[in-house]
Amino acid sequence: MGRNQKAETGGIIAAVLSLFATYAILMGIDQFTNVQHADVNIRFLVWSAVIACCAVVSFIIGYARLSNSWTSRFGLWIPIRKFFEVVSLSAMYAPTVLLVAFFTMRVTYTTVGYQTNSLFFHGMVSVIAAVSSYFGFVQGEMLTAKMVVSILPVFVISGVMTAALTTTDLNWWRANFSELGDSTSFAANMFNFTLIMCGICVVIVSYFAVYELIGSHDQYLAWRAKVGLPTTIEPGYYTRKRKHMWAVVKSAMQTNYAPEESLQGSKQADNLDPELRALRAQIITDKSALYPYFRLRCYVLLALLVITGLMLSGVGVFRYTPHPDMHNFFARGMMVPIYTLLVALPILAPQLNRIVYAVSWAEVLFVMLSGLSWLNGETTLTNVEAITWLLFMAWFIIFSRQIASIAADREYAQSRYSLLSDQVNSLPSETASRVSPEA
């Protein structure tokens, strides 16, 4: 049985165990507590917590069991870092499952109603726990950076929609989203909890995404040095005109590496197909990993993303009514790191595709136009805030997936180039992706 089939089989086992365990836990809760007499939202929240526990346990088992980082032969810091990463990913996964499960039960409740001690709801909760455990185990064992970032919008949408469904203030949208969380009601607490956890999730995903960028960069430079390709750009690269910059890069490439000479005597030198020739030329002239101050750029990028996440959490921590100044500071100040990041992205992450920069600048322009429309009384502030965050979440997904794609494309190009030139037998053994379960 291969890895994918083992993951699916493990997911089925986790689902069956969670199904019976959840049903037994629900029956125990009804028998030994007074939850069945509590408000329906409280009951749904308790049941959602049971589902989240089952799912996150399955996720941790699937994610951590294949890791090579639990031994201390390379130092005590390695297992400590792995433990921190497992906790971080679990902190993202658990509230996501909780909110999705709660949202599902609320929708079902508004559709079919609810009866106390209803076997229907107990059975539904058990099935949701089984399905969540199945996907938790499979996702944990096959986790990728692209999969991690895809969790974030599901979490945000589920939390906000749950708060909107349970609020008693049906006119909150006429003001802004802060109105939805500006009370001590269940809906307001759910909304503020979503903001706090969303900010933490942004910090966690940013850590993994930037590490992916740094890890891919280090691996790529090590490989280029091993096959004799240049690993730096000639000094003065950024002080010359754009037309002359390309000439400097080409000159540096030709000086540091003579492709035709290196392949003299190679069995494949005389029979390269056009695709391999093009790949070889692309790698030789690739300067995406040669930019100076690479780590400094990454640290600034990470700092802006972390500040954004922390300020988003601050909006949920400080409600408007008791803390208007602090709430406005975090809500309005959050736009500073976001816009700085979007505008300066070509400098902070120059190896991304140009279309990502265009999308970033278009997002800034679109939000500015939406703000002007609000100032002219043509729309509500709620719409402007919703558009801003939907666009930022979309950009965040694109950004993280672009980084994961860069690593995947480099690994593929290195493999093809190695087969072509016979200069290296294998790729570096270290996994570039920090989020990989095998790291």
Do the Cβ atoms of 318 and 325 come closer than 8 Å? no
The band of 42, judged by pLDDT with boundaries at 50, 70 and 90, is: confident
Average pLDDT, the chain: 77
Do the Cβ atoms of 14 and 133 come closer than 8 Å? yes
CA angle centred on 368, ends 363 and 374, rounded to 5°: 125
- At 428 the pLDDT is 46
Amino acid residing at 33: T
Distances (CA, A) of 253 to 38, 228, 232, 234: 71, 10, 10, 10
Do the Cβ atoms of 134 and 11 come closer than 8 Å? yes
Q: Which residue has the higher pLDDT, 388 or 51?
A: 51
The band of 251, judged by pLDDT with boundaries at 50, 70 and 90, is: low
296-301: Cβ within 8 A, 24+ apart = 297/347, 297/348, 297/349, 297/350, 298/210, 298/213, 298/214, 298/348, 298/349, 300/348, 301/210, 301/341, 301/348, 301/349
Percent of the chain at pLDDT exceeding 90: 12
Highest mean pLDDT among 54-58, 146-150, 418-422: 54-58
Lowest mean pLDDT among 26-40, 120-134, 231-245, 348-362: 231-245
Q: What's the CA gap between 201 and 86, in Å, rounded? A: 13
Q: Over 60: is that where the pLDDT of 252 sits?
A: no
Q: Which two tokens stand for residue 52?
A: 């989240």
Q: Over 90: is that where the pLDDT of 51 sits?
A: yes
pLDDT tens, 157-192? 878 887 887 777 777 777 777 787 788 788 888 888
- At 13 the pLDDT is 93
- At 269 the pLDDT is 42
The band of 421, judged by pLDDT with boundaries at 50, 70 and 90, is: low
Tell me the domain boundaries of the chain.
1-143, 172-439
pLDDT tens, 190-209? 888 888 888 888 888 888 88
pTM of structure: 0.76
